[in-house]
Structure 1
């Protein structure tokens, strides 16, 4: 049984278009964007803007998740 092939379902046109565009972005871009959001968050925290710092600091995790998605699309491809 080959579990790597998805023969029952196919991606939609929108998903294929998004994956073809995100695969062009280097994986490092997501890592550095995440680190930058943490740095900007720290700067806002030090400047006394607590709520803005928390808002921007929460961007790090989604950027890292997008990086993981990008890496999966690059290595596994899409339907």
Structure 2
């Protein structure tokens, strides 16, 4: 029998039971489900790569003297990373 990383993990699984989602306001409409199904087809590394490209473009624009454009493109990094995290969560947990 191998050692667990967390020896209390089995005890915590017995104590906590995830509640089912049964409230009507937690249901999703068909548009949300369709969007999640389509975005789940996009690989997660696409969002990471596009955020790195936005960072590089922002640095290039800043070096080129176009400060407003550099800041505008630099603002794209955070939303792209958040979309990547949401995409990964949809793939991992699925729609609820």
Q: Normalising to structure 1: TM-score of the pair?
A: 0.92
Is residue 18 from structure 1 mapped to residue 35 from structure 2 by the alignment? yes
Q: Which secondary structure does the structure 2 equivalent of 1:2 belong to?
A: coil
Q: 1:1-79 residue pairs with structure 2 within 5 A?
A: 1-3=17-19, 5-8=20-23, 9-79=26-96
Shift of residue 7 of structure 1?
2.0
How many residue pairs match? The answer is 78
Computing the radius of gyration over CA atoms, which structure comes out larger, 1 or 2? 2
In structure 1, runs of 5+ residues without a counterpart are none
Displaced runs of 4 or more, over 3 A: none
Q: 2:7 maps to what in 1?
A: none
Higher RCO (Cα < 8 Å, 6 or more apart): 1
Shift of residue 2 of structure 1?
2.1
